[in-house]
């Protein structure tokens, strides 16, 4: 039987991390998967709950969580509404949140293999964590970025520092979402540490790179850059897939979109394959 448990952790700057665990209680000795959502995403976006059930029925404990400054609240778990928190977010805080979630899993299920899956910007966080954290056995990136600064325009930076804030558009709602200059300052202060391609070259554990060849948000060539940085990684193309593999929000269907199902099946095959 599929079960879901909620958990709350202490996140960055006194914000909470809300998360959930999906699992099938008929399975024993279940490896753990931690999913990291992307920029403007959250744990209950689109088909994420169907993805959790997919892996749970196949013998995995599937954890997903909202980064502390995702802008999603307990009162509105289905949208980004706390724009003040969203504006304050930084890469450093996101990495700290991922580490907090990893600590929770490692403490609750000691000696259990932990796998990371990250989408888009979450994929970049997974690469940075997978480079050095010995608790992680394999990583999978879905539509991952290869440069945090690709999320804004270079010509915006001077205005950003001067005014203290820029705005990005939510493609779904057309809402203007603020980003404080602390995000840029944090990135510049840790430019070498946050160099995704440099980190990719140092990843020693098995890594699967999945990317749609019709992704207009993050081009397929970005996946090729990641694969070139780490030749041991496996790159697989999802033909005709966009950035979210045919999902949308809200997603009301009872079955996964065909391309997202393909992503899940390829990910499952990779997780079940012996380490090389």
User: Which residue ranges in the chain fall short of pLDDT 70?
Assistant: 276
- The encoded tokens of residue 209 equal 């790179």
Closest to 95 in 3D by CA, of 15, 194, 181, 222 = 194
CB contact set of 137 (below 8 Å; sequence gap of 6+): 31, 113, 114, 115, 205, 206, 275
**Does pTM top 0.95 for this prediction?**
yes
- The encoded tokens of residue 123 equal 């994929």
pLDDT digits 0-9 by tens, 96-126: 999 999 999 999 999 899 999 999 999 999 9
Residue 275, pLDDT score: 74
Residue 166, pLDDT score: 96
Residue 205, pLDDT score: 97
Residue 229, CA distances (Å) to 83, 98, 139, 158, 232 in order = 35, 23, 15, 30, 9
Q: Which long-range contacts (CB under 8 A, 24 or more apart) does 159-168 make?
A: 160/184, 161/185, 165/87, 168/40
Q: Hunting for tokens 């990583």 — which residue is that?
A: 139
Q: Pseudo-torsion of CA 256, 262, 263, 267, nearest 10°?
A: 120
- Gap between the Cα atoms of 13 and 28, Å rounded: 37
Residue 276, pLDDT score: 57
Burial status of residue 211 (CB atoms within 10 A of its CB: 0-12, 13-18, 19 or more): buried
CA 248 to chain centre: 16
- The encoded tokens of residue 151 equal 């999320």
């Amino acid at each position: 039987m599929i079960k879901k448990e909620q958990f709350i952790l202490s996140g960055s700057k006194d914000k909470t991390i809300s998360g959930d665990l999906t699992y099938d209680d008929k399975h024993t000795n279940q490896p753990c998967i931690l999913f990291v959502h992307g920029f403007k995403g959250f744990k209950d976006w689109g088909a994420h709950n169907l993805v959790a059930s997919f892996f749970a029925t196949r013998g995995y404990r599937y954890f997903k969580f909202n980064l502390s400054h995702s802008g999603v609240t307990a009162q509105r778990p289905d949208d980004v509404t706390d724009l003040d928190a969203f504006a304050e977010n930084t890469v450093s805080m996101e990495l700290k949140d991922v580490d907090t979630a990893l600590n929770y899993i490692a403490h609750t299920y000691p000696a259990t293999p932990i796998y990371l899956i990250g989408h888009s910007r979450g994929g970049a966080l997974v690469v940075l964590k997978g480079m050095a954290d010995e608790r992680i056995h394999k990583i999978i990136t879905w539509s991952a970025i290869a440069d945090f600064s690709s999320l804004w325009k270079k010509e915006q930076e001077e205005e950003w520092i001067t005014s203290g804030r820029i705005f990005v558009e939510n493609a779904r709602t057309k809402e203007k979402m603020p980003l404080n200059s602390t995000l840029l300052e944090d990135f510049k202060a840790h430019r070498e540490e946050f160099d995704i391609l440099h980190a990719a070259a140092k990843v020693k554990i098995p890594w699967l790179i999945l990317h749609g060849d019709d992704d207009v948000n993050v081009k397929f060539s970005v996946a090729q850059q990641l694969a070139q940085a780490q030749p041991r990684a496996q790159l697989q193309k999802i033909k005709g897939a966009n950035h979210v593999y045919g999902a949308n929000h809200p997603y009301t269907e009872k079955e996964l979109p065909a391309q997202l199902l393909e992503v899940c099946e390829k990910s499952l095959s990779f997780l079940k394959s012996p380490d090389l």
